[in-house]
Amino acid sequence: MALDRRTFLTVSGRFGLASTLFPGALYTLAAQAQQQQPTGAEVKLPPITAEMIGQAAALAGVSIVPEYRQAMLDGLNQQRAGYAEIRKLDLPNSVAPAFVFDPLPPGENVNSQREKPVYSRAPGIRTVPTNLEDLAFATVMELGDLIRRHKVSSVDFTAMYTERLKRYDPLLHFVITLTTERAMAQAREADADLARGHYRSPLHGLPWGAKDLLAVKGYPTTWGAGGFEHQRIDEDATVVKRLDAAGAVLIAKLTLGALAMGDYWFGGRTRNPWNPTQGSSGSSAGPASATSAGCVAFAIGSETLGSISSPSTRCGVTGLRPTFGFVPRTGAMALSWTMDKLGPICRAVEDCAAVLEAIYGPDGEDLSVRNAAFNWNADLNWKSLRVGYLKKTFEAEEPARPTPPLPAAATEAQKKQRRQHELRTAAYRAQREYDRKYDLAALAKLRSMGVNLIPVELPDLPFEAMTPLLTAEAAAAFDELTITGRDKLLTRQGPEDWPNDFRVARFYPAVEYIQANRARSLAIAAMAKLFQQTDVIVTSTNSEQLVVTNLTGHPAVIVPNGARGSDAPVPPPDIPIDDQSGGPGTPVSITFLAGHYQDARACALARAYQQAIGFEKLHPKLPT
């Protein structure tokens, strides 16, 4: 079952919180002690008392004897007064903390020497079809070759893809804003440049879509969220500027789950083109859905904890989540400063390499970006790579643990909740076991290609307990929503949605945040040892590695790995629609990992595998 960020935060992000609830608790307990204030009114909190300290200590799971509580009062009241002073400052989402996350362990070096990219020989579509839409699912390399050879104009491709966006948006709900005026001006410029002999890159003249957390001057940047529908940011994100320079044509700002969670946004739910009754997963919901539906040549998404991996899997497209610090995030919405990554969603691996080539490298503003080289070489001898596979992720599910019986006095609501939990669990296990044959087939295919697979395992560390780092940073990035009560404008308000996550994160102490980051340093060092043994690691996509590698900043290439057969388990109708994924005819994927800034190696093996199986040529059957 494809696991988007919503599911990962539900399944793993709650772990480790039980003993991490002290300083924020004091503020919250004090706030609850006052009369309710109108939304937006200045909050006047009563002094912290020894009783409050006792309550907060109980929440935190620590013991503070009464005489020590009394000694703490002055310091805690002064500390809380400082919160108010900081909150008076103008701290928009674009202001980053005064620290920069570095995913490299001590002593690890990166290659900064850039080389000219080596692309494969273009497939060469010799005859342009009468109906240009017959090319809607062609790859970037195929489309770019047609433009380069003056077989099709950028204006014609832009008009064709824009028309498809308009036609399929009512079914799939993947567009927030069409940028038609900007796009047609860019397309005309691309055609004029080519007529003058100025060919900018393999992306020259190709229409693309941006996840709507990227700022584009002159257009709304909504972040997919209620309350931000009319937000305008008077700049172009660095990635947008770089794609402009590469000659690409921005035709739409595409959907994302509100504030980068899931596939629900303020206008509805983005759908999976393979089965429109299901969501596309998220949070790069629109980029994956539109690319899958042949409505853009490629798209830019982002990932913090699964937001390229999960929708790429659900929608049957190829995603590249680059190494943390490869692509500047300037002009992109911040969710987690130490985990956010921008990357391409395309139909083929080499397409992703061409897009990454255009957007990576320092911009002088995002200080997390390292001067490391992405040297794409389609002729790389991938057979020389040492290839591992995460053995555990390919094994059968362990037997389910028995569920404790409900008490005799359980309510009907509790019984219904238990029933849905059991149905969810059974559905997940059935689908995971069914999908395992595709994972095993991938290993068999790689072996038949001459790859010697080395079994490896992930480090034994409490990775789930580190995931609250994400929600703590996200709560800081959107602190103003919680403080003012504007979080009520967000479309979804359940216990697993951002408004509640942000409130929970108020109870995550600075000490525990730092401790989790120290544990993260151990994880980075342990993963570095793993990549001393291997160059590329093959893994099941929907497994613990997704949490691990997002925490450690490693790159991933997600490749379509076929479509489920007619015998695939069907999601039971009794579970919530959020959990309904998979079923006959829907895609599965396999993932390739590499060491830090070794994205080109992962792409090289992933491309070889993709060429051997050809699943990137599969696409959903949409109504004409």
- Cis status of the peptide bond prior to 368, with omega within 30 of 0: no
C-alpha dihedral, 318 to 527 to 507 to 576, nearest 10°: 40
| Buried b or exposed e, range 524-537, using 16+ CB within 10 angstroms | bebbbebbeebbbb
Which own/partner pairs from 43-47 qualify as long-range (CB within 8 Å, at least 24 positions apart)?
Answer: 45/80, 47/73, 47/77
| Buried b or exposed e, range 582-618, using 16+ CB within 10 angstroms | bbeebbbbbbbbbbbbbbbbbbbbbbbbbeebebbeb
Distance CA 28, CA 191 (A): 59
Annotated active-site residue 384? The verdict is no
Q: 397 burial class (0-12, 13-18, 19+ CB within 10 angstroms)?
A: exposed
Distance CA 453, CA 447 (A): 7
Which amino acid, 411? Answer: T
Annotated active-site residue 448? The verdict is no
Tokens 């059957």 belong to which residue? 621
Please identify which of the residues 153, 201, 211, 312 carries the catalytic annotation. 211
In a 3-state reduction of DSSP, which class is residue 274?
coil
Report the first-to-last Cα separation within the chain, whole angstroms.
29
Distance CA 299, CA 366 (A): 21
DSSP H or E run through 426: helix 412-448
Which own/partner pairs from 108-111 qualify as long-range (CB within 8 Å, at least 24 positions apart)?
Answer: 108/528, 108/596, 110/370, 110/372, 110/373, 110/596, 110/597, 111/372, 111/373, 111/375, 111/597
Please identify which of the residues 153, 280, 302, 307 carries the catalytic annotation. 307
Please identify which of the residues 201, 283, 289, 543 carries the catalytic annotation. 283
Annotated active-site residue 437? The verdict is no
User: What is the CA 591 to chain-centroid distance, rounded?
Assistant: 14
Q: Which of 311, 323, 329 is nearest to 255 (CA)?
A: 311
Distance CA 250, CA 183 (A): 6
Q: How many CB atoms lie within 10 A of CB 105?
A: 17
Please state, in angstroms and as integers, the Cα–Cα distance from residue 618 to each residue in 7, 8, 139, 315, following that order: 27, 28, 12, 11
Distance CA 201, CA 248 (A): 9
Angle at 567 between CA 566 and CA 568, to 5 degrees: 95
How does DSSP assign 22-45, residue by residue? SHHHHHHHHHHHSPPPPTTSPP-P
In a 3-state reduction of DSSP, which class is residue 437?
helix
Distance CA 136, CA 127 (A): 15
Distance CA 578, CA 258 (A): 15
Give the residue numbers marked as catalytic. Answer: 211, 283, 307
